[in-house]
Amino acid sequence: MSRDLIGKGAIVLLALPALLLPALVLGYIAHKGVAAVSWQFLFDTSQGIGAQLSGSLLLALGACLLAAPLALGTALYHRLLASPRQRRLLDLLLQMLQGIPPIVFGLCGLVVFVHLLQWGVSLASGAVVLAMVILPMLVLNTIAALARIPAEYGEAAQSLGLGHGAVIGRVWLRLAWRPLVTGLLLGTARALSETAPILFTATVFSGVVWPASIFEPVTTLQTHIFYLAQEGSDPRAIQTAWGSALVLIAVVAACGLAARLLRKVGYT
Amino acid sequence: MLRLWLTTSALLSGATIVLLLGFLIHASWPLLQSQGLAFASGSEWYPYEGLFGLLPALAGSLWAITLALLLAVPAAVAAAVVSAELWPRRGGTPLRFAMELMAGIPSVVYGLVGLWLLLPLLEGGFDLLTGRSLLAAGLLLALMIMPTIMLFTDDALRAVPQERREAALSLGLSWAALLWRVILPEAWPGIRIAILLALGRAMGETVAVMLVVGSIDRLPDPIYDLLQPAQTLTSRIGREMAEAAAGSLHWAALISGGLVLALLSITLSLLAQRRRAG
């Protein structure tokens, strides 16, 4: 018995850094951030981070609006129309896309959208780049959600004479909407937390409250933290950075929590 | 209509990665043409003199990733053992929930933490003029990938059938032997995937690394000196992309760095997926 205690003690000791350090870091961010956060800080566009918060949300919303129909269509094609060979090819291409680091999406966006298509550093460029970042996770999530629906449901509907459209709308989407929304929430969280893809494609340091068109740049919470962190000489800038970090974590965690609750409720 | 939507979506989704790689190759072509593959082994990077050696950034990335894995893997696997074996309440334990929260923290926040918490600690601890170094990057990356490794290892451990544990215990094995000889080998394929995924994350991480690595393009001298400012593949792109003129050789060199990064990441990702399927 005591031998077991030694083994377990050693494991706990080895695990301590992984158990304690993240908690300490989170605590430190909360401690530093709380001092900066107030209603004015959250919503004011000159004293606070109202403009940055709305810019982040706009980009994430744009990315989801672009990626969601594409992801649903791709997953339905995968389930309904694809031959086994096309299915394997699609899986392979999506896995490759999923492995691409965020900064490479940023590079590609800079080359293609900012320069080649002349959209400039803009909301549009950033939204398309972020849509590319979250596309593979959305498609793979939707494929998995559709795969969990028993095949008989679709077959039964088809035997009643329903076409593909009716099977999708009346059977599948009704059964699978929870996991689909869960995936979309996780995609939103991902789009909100990425910095590298939008650094050169969508954002400026300051001076934008609300973009006049989708071809105007925005300011975002992520890049705001990034720029402020490097303003070493100004303690107020650093405090704002900690406050922004806390708000960003809260928004991302809220998406994650909503996704978790929805997943827990389960099917139908 | 429906068929059109589905087919277009699938074509677009599939074509994304092909187009992405195509544009990267196209944009880095001027450099590949003028320097060939020699740029991968050049150890000097002076954009204004036309020297574009990739080696310092490659070595920096390699060091930072190795350091991060060495620090993070033992602790994270041990933490997963604590959560799955010692504290295996069914469903999500509070520990798992906390790890999911940590895994979701945006990388720029880690950058802020690195710059204003880790660097001062390093400067004080090692009596350095500047804490910006490969050591700082490795420590920060370790912190970032620990939750990922722990979550996936936790899944792998929980997937080990209960009968294996009972059979081993009925043979009179100690808990340590059970863990080392039965549970960890059984869960190893899953743990390997966790490590590969973490490796990919660490290699592609940009903003956090570029804030703490120092962004100085030279090989560490001697090669194991991790306390000097250095550069990684990602931090170089992040630092210099904004100043390079579109279409210049410098620009093409930065993009070819991105291409190398993309190819390495795809290899890792496919390796992890293959393991998962096999």
What is the full DSSP assignment across A137-170? HHHHHHHHHHHTS-HHHHHHHHHTT--HHHIIII
**Using an 8 Å Cβ cutoff, are A186 and A109 in contact?**
no
Q: Predicted confidence band at A162 (pLDDT cuts at 50, 70, 90)?
A: confident
Question: Mind listing the pLDDT tens digit for each residue in B125-169?
Answer: 888 888 899 999 999 999 999 999 999 999 999 999 989 888 888
**Cα torsion angle, A188, A62, A194, A25, sign:** negative
R_g of chain A, CA atoms, integer Å: 22
Q: Compute the distance between CA of residue B106 and CA of residue B102 in angstroms, rounded to an integer.
A: 9
Which residues, numbered 217 to 276 in chain B, qualify as contacts with chain A under a Cβ-Cβ cut-off of 8 Å? 234, 237-238, 241-242, 246, 254-255, 258, 261-262, 265-266, 268-270, 273
Give me the pLDDT at residue A1, please.
56
Q: Predicted confidence band at A268 (pLDDT cuts at 50, 70, 90)?
A: very low
The ipTM estimated for the assembled molecules is 0.91
User: Of B1, B8, B9, B13, which to mutate for an interface test with A (greatest number of A Cβ within 10 Å)?
Assistant: B13
Question: Mind listing the pLDDT tens digit for each residue in A229-264?
Answer: 998 778 889 999 999 999 999 999 999 999 988 887
- CB contact under 8 Å between A22 and B86, yes or no, is no
**Using an 8 Å Cβ cutoff, are A226 and A199 in contact?**
yes
Which residues, numbered 216 to 255 in chain A, qualify as contacts with chain B under a Cβ-Cβ cut-off of 8 Å? 222-223, 225-226, 229-230, 238, 241-242, 245, 248-249, 252-253
Task: Give the distance from residue B191's alpha carbon to the nearest chain A alpha carbon, in angstroms.
Answer: 16
Tokens of B233: 């593949």
Q: Does A20 touch chain B (CB under 8 A)?
A: no
Give the max Cα distance, chain A: 72
**Is residue A59 scored above 50 in pLDDT?**
yes
List CB contacts of B47: < 8 A, sequence separation 6 or more. B240, B244, B250, B253
- CB contact under 8 Å between B14 and A229, yes or no, is no
- Comparing B222 with A16, the larger pLDDT belongs to A16
**Using an 8 Å Cβ cutoff, are A176 and A145 in contact?**
yes
Tokens of B149: 């490794």
Which of B32, B56, B28, B24 is CA-nearest to residue B42?
B56
**Using an 8 Å Cβ cutoff, are B147 and B177 in contact?**
no
Dihedral-angle region of residue B91 (phi above 0 means left; psi in -120 to 50 means alpha; beta otherwise): left
The amino acid present at A39, given as its one-letter code, is W
Percentage of chain A exceeding pLDDT 90: 62
**Is residue A216 scored above 70 in pLDDT?**
yes
Which residue reads 């699978």 in tokens? A176
Q: Compute the distance between CA of residue B151 and CA of residue B103 in angstroms, rounded to an integer.
A: 9
Percentage of chain B exceeding pLDDT 70: 97
- CB contact under 8 Å between B200 and A101, yes or no, is yes
Least confident of A126-135, A141-150, B86-95: B86-95
What is the rounded average pLDDT of the residues A153-162?
A: 81
What is the rounded average pLDDT of the residues A115-144?
A: 95
Partner residue opposite B6 with nearest CB, options A77, A97, A194: A77
Question: Mind listing the pLDDT tens digit for each residue in A67-119?
Answer: 999 999 999 999 989 999 999 999 999 999 999 999 999 999 999 999 999 99
- CB contact under 8 Å between A14 and B75, yes or no, is yes
Tokens of B141: 């990356």
Q: Does A24 touch chain B (CB under 8 A)?
A: no
**Using an 8 Å Cβ cutoff, are A67 and A187 in contact?**
yes
- Cβ of A115: how many Cβ atoms within 10 Å? 16
Partner residue opposite B106 with nearest CB, options A74, A101, A193: A193
Which of B127, B143, B124 is CA-nearest to residue B201?
B143
Q: pTM, whole model, 2 decimals? A: 0.92
Q: Predicted confidence band at A207 (pLDDT cuts at 50, 70, 90)?
A: confident
Task: Give the distance from residue B223's alpha carbon to the nearest chain A alpha carbon, in angstroms.
Answer: 27
Sequence length of chain A is 268
Q: Predicted confidence band at A3 (pLDDT cuts at 50, 70, 90)?
A: confident
Alpha helices (runs of H) in chain B, residue ranges in sequence order: 2-35, 55-81, 94-103, 107-113, 119-126, 134-158, 162-170, 175-177, 184-204, 207-212, 233-240, 249-277
A199 to chain B: which residues are within 8 Å by CB?
Answer: 207, 238
